[in-house]
Amino acid sequence: MKFDSLLIHFGELSTKGENKKMFINCLYRNIKVALDNPNITYKKDRDHIVLNLNGEEPEKIIKRLQDISGIHRISPIYRGSRDMNELKEQALGLIKNVKGSTFKIETKRGDKRYPLNSYQICCEVADHILDNTELTVDLHEPDITLHLDVRDDCVYISCATYLGCGGYPLGMNGKVMMFLSGGIDSPVAAYSMLRRGVKIECLHFAAPPYTSQAVIYKLEDIIAKLGVYQPEIKLHIVPFTKLQEDIYKYCDESYAITIMRRMMMRIGTLAAKRYRCLAIATGESIGQVASQTLQSMQVINEVTNFPVVRPLAASDKLEIIDTAKRIGTFDISIRPYEDCCTIFKPKAPKTKPHLGECYFYEKQWDFESEVKDCVEGIETIVFKKGKRVE
């Protein structure tokens, strides 16, 4: 006897009251698209989604489900009978295949009309297991905990649970314009947004010939990894060369990075509005480099009143690297490349830039028309399930 279905628990979703139905429907659609498997059949109820595997192996499917935001836990279950004699046999058949020498039973009655109460159900089933196996009961640290959940039409029997990534179903929390550089941090920041249920479109500032096509290939590989979490991703490439050259022409080297980032924020804001994103997101982490001190961030942020989300603000580099390795972007990110931030790197960038100085440099030329040109010149690449389609 085998666990033949998977029970999806929503976690945080259960607190969402009225919106709950919308959340469940969104998650349900996301799961169907991600699994893309016609053999699997689905059933939604108020607290769960049940996947009937119809013979598909659970391991691979559980692994895939663990990447879908909005799923709190996944339990392999058997849809047992409400008839006590049959239920006892089914519980026995299942527990016999599970490793361990001690057990306990936990019962929940989703259907309160069931004639036996939870305690009585536990006793009946436990007695049958004790009579027919070598197992003994341990209520404190059992090897196996058998869960019984009495539903309207069956009893869910389970004894293992796998953690999902939590958060909200993708698409429920709007969309951000993700600044994607090709370094280690921004893909991890993108992943943080995705697992929160926020969709992304990616924006990359390219400065050819100073930056090469290799960066774009790198971004394609990174997006292929992120495609696991969001099936369709757009990458917008901003032609940044002219503006960048002018920054170096008109600004003191020590202010070049600050001004460049102010320009990125201006362009990002316009692009975010154009593509209906509700915020900008970046991979910045406080104190990591000169442009990421709080003083710098304040001066850079001054050009926009658009929300800028920095999911890695308080993460340290080792944590970020761990996540990058886990989601498979680390090896791609460390491939050598020239980012527009790295080639024009000044020797002594300001860690505490002043606004007054920024205003002074920005008066030296008509940057606004160049900002507009950057937005007008955006080229968009579309990826579906990680593959470039346009």
**289 interacts with, out of ligand ATP, Mg ion, none, CB within 5 to 8 A per kind:** ligand ATP
User: Judged by CB under 5 A, which stretch of 195-203, 299-307, 335-343, 345-353 contacts Mg ion?
Assistant: 335-343
Q: According to the binding rule CB under 6 A, does residue 289 interact with ligand ATP? A: yes
Indicate the helix (H) or strand (E) that contains 126: helix 118-132
How are the residues of the chain apportioned to helix, strand and coil, as percentages rounded to the nearest 5? 40, 20, 40
CB 81 within 8 A of CB 15: no
Selection from Mg ion, ligand ATP, none that 284 binds (CB < 5 to 8 A by kind) is ligand ATP
Q: Which of 20, 24, 386, 387 is nearest to 229 (CA)?
A: 386
Q: Please report whether residue 183 would count as binding Mg ion according to CB under 5 A.
A: yes
- The residue type found at 71 is I
Binding segment toward ligand ATP, per CB under 6 A, in 2-10, 24-32, 138-146, 334-342: 334-342
User: Cβ closer to ligand ATP: 158 or 329?
Assistant: 329
Alpha helices in 227-364 (DSSP H): 241-250, 253-274, 294-301, 317-327, 330-333, 340-343, 355-362
> Residue 161 is encoded by which pair of tokens?
């649970």
Q: Phi/psi at 74 (nearest 5 deg)?
A: -130, 125
Smallest separation, CB 99 to ligand ATP (Å): 43
Using the rule CB under 6 A, which residue among 147, 195, 204, 218 binds ligand ATP? 204
Q: Which is nearer to Mg ion, 107 or 291 (CB)?
A: 291
Does 184 bind ligand ATP (CB under 6 A)? Our answer is yes
Beta bridge pairs of residue 89: none
Instruction: Compare residues 75 and 181 and give the one whose CB is closer to Mg ion.
Output: 181
Site of interaction with Mg ion (CB under 5 A): 181, 183, 339
Site of interaction with ligand ATP (CB under 6 A): 179-181, 183-186, 203-205, 282-284, 288-289, 291, 339-341
